[in-house]
Amino acid sequence: MTMVLGHRTAFPARERGEGKLYRVIVTLCFALFFLLLPALAARAEMNIQEVKSTKGITAWLVEDHSIPLIAIRFVFDGGSAQDPAGKEGLVNLMTGLFDEGAGDLDSDAFQQKLDDAGAEMGFQASRDGTYGSMRMLSEQKDEAFDLLRLAVNKPRFDQAPIDRIRSQILSGILANERDPNTVAQQRWLRAIYGEHPYSRSDQGSKQSLAGITADDIRAFHKAAFARGGVHVAVVGDIDAATLGARLDEVFGDLPEKQALAPVADVTPKLGQHLEVNYDLPQTSLQLAWPGVKRGDPDFFAAVLMNEILGGSTFTSRLFAEVREKRGLAYGVSSDLVDNEHSHTLLVTTATRSDRAAETLSIVRQVVKDMAENGPNEEELAAIKKYMIGAYAISNLDSSSSIAATLVELQVDHLGIDYMQRRAALINAVTLADVKAAAKKLLSVDPAVMVIGPPMLEVAGSGKG
C-alpha cells in the first residue's frame, strides 16, 4: 500500500475497428466470468496448489475449468522507491511501455496481436514492486503467453513510445500542479519521510522525466526482472503441468538474481503540524500515527483495533462521532498503511472549513479515548465476525482479485495455508491484546496536515 494519492500509470488508449469490437466481446465474456466466480471464491475448500517449474519459478494456482479463462498476476520486487535520484518516475514510465512493442513486434503490431489473441495485459508500479497481469481465453493461451513472454523478456522501449507515454504522464503532472490536494500530499510526504525515496512522487517531475533515457529504462528492467524476485499467481482454466511449462516460457530465461539498490527503513517524523493554505470551502485533514509491520506478533491486534477506530466504514467510532452524531463530514476513515520500509496508521476526513478545528478536535479525542481505554468486548466480537465473514467478498470475488490476493500473500510470506489459518489467528486475539496495540500505536503525538484556509485555532494540540 502507499500513501501517495493520485498515482496514475499511463496506458495508451487505442481504437481499431475490428480489434475494438473484439475487445468488447472479450470484455463481455470477462463480465460473465466475474458474475460466476464468486461461487468459486465462496468455497471454503478452494484448493491452492504450489507449482514449481523446471527452472525454479514458483506460482500459486487455483484451477477452475468451468469457464475457459485464465488470469495471471505477478510482481517483481522493487518499485518506484528504486528510481535513481534525479530520475524519479522511471519505473512508472517503464510500466507504460510493455505493450508498446516487444521482440520483433513494434507498438502497432504488438497491440494487434493482443487484439487477435483476445488478451488484456497491464503493468503498474507501487513503491516496492513492479506488477504485471494478463487475462486470456484459455483456447488462445498459446498466443497470449507468447506475447507475455515477449513483454517480460524483450520489451523494445522504442523512443517514439517513450516520448508519447512520457508526454501523457507529463500532462498529468502539469494538471496536478494546480490541484491543492496533490500539492499538499507531496509536502506531507516530504515532511514525514525527509529525503527517503518514499517522499518522492512515483510519477516524477517535469525535470526528472525529461532526463530519463531508454538506456535508463533498460538498465532497471535488467536489474529488477529476475527469477529470484518474482511472485506469481494464476487462476482459471489451466492445470499444474501446463502452468509449469508456461512459467518457464515466460520467466525461465530471466537472470537468476536481481540487482536492486538497497532501500533503508524509515520512521515517519510525527509530532508536527503542517498547514497547506488554500481558499477552499472544504478543509481536508490527515493525521498519522505509528503503524505495524505485517509480520509483527501484534499485527492482528492492531488490525482489529484500527477497524473499530475507523477502518470499518459505517460502524467505526470515528464514523459515529464525526458523521452520525455531528454531521461534520461525509466520510472519515483510518487505515494501516503497510509499505515494505515504513508503517503508519493514517486518519483522513474532510469538512466545512469553518468547522475544521472542531472536527480535528473530535478526531483527536476519539483516538485519545481508544489509546487510553481501548475497545469493549462487544465491539471486538462484532469486528472479528465481520473480518472473518467479509474476507472472501473483499478479496476473492473474481479471478483477478483471487490472483492479486495470492500474490500479496506471497510477498508478505504468509504461507499457502494462510486462508485456512486466518480465522483462528483473528479469534486468538484477546481484548487485552487490542488494548495494548491501541496504547502502543496511539499514545504518541501524531503528524497533522490541514489543507484549506488558515485555521483560527488548532484544536487538541496535546497528544492524541
What are residue 71's DSSP bridge partners? 135, 235
Task: Give the strand order in the sheet containing 49-52.
Answer: 49-52, 58-63, 230-236, 69-77, 129-137, 120-125
Q: Is the CB of residue 101 less than 8 Å from the CB of residue 110?
A: yes
Number of domains in the chain: 2
* Domain match, 240 and 340 both: no
Q: What is the DSSP string of 77-125?
A: E--GGGPPTT-TTHHHHHHTSTTS-BTTB-HHHHHHHHHHHT-EEEEEE
Residue type, 371: A
296 and 410 inside one domain: yes
Query: Does residue 281 fall inside a structural domain?
Result: yes
Asked if the structure places residue 167 within a domain, the reply is yes
Q: Which of 304, 306, 338 is nearest to 426 (CA)?
A: 304
CA distance 383 to 389: 10
* Residues 145 and 211 placed together within one structural domain of the fold: yes
The answer to whether position 260 is within a domain reads no
- Does 416 share its domain with 326? yes
Q: Strand, coil or helix: what is 162? A: helix
364 three-class SS: helix
Q: 174: burial class by Cβ within 10 Å (0-12, 13-18, 19+)?
A: exposed
- The answer to whether residue 257 sits within a structural domain is no
Question: 157 vs 141, 184, 221, 391, 463, CA distance in Å?
Answer: 25, 33, 10, 39, 51
Q: d(Cα 379, Cα 315) in Å, to the nearest integer?
A: 9
- Residue 5: inside a domain, yes or no? no
In a domain, 151, yes or no: yes
Dihedral sign, Cα of residue 359, residue 361, residue 362, residue 368: positive
Do residues 282 and 170 both lie within one domain? no
Distance CA 236, CA 70 (A): 4
Domain with 35, as residue range(s), is 17-251
Q: Are residues 444 and 343 in the same domain?
A: yes
The whole-model pTM stands at: 0.87
pLDDT in tens, the chain (464 residues): 333 322 223 323 333 334 444 444 444 454 444 444 444 444 445 899 999 999 999 999 999 999 999 999 999 999 999 999 999 999 999 999 999 999 999 999 999 999 999 999 999 999 999 999 999 999 999 999 999 999 999 999 999 999 999 999 999 999 999 899 999 999 999 999 999 999 999 999 999 999 999 999 999 999 999 999 999 999 999 999 999 999 999 999 999 999 999 999 999 999 999 999 999 999 999 999 999 999 899 999 999 999 999 998 889 999 999 999 999 999 999 999 999 999 999 999 999 999 999 999 999 999 999 999 999 999 999 999 999 999 998 889 899 999 999 999 999 999 999 999 999 999 999 999 999 999 999 999 999 999 999 986 544 444 44
Write the CATH number for 311.
3.30.830.10
**198 with 300, same domain?**
no
Domain boundary among 251, 286, 317: 251
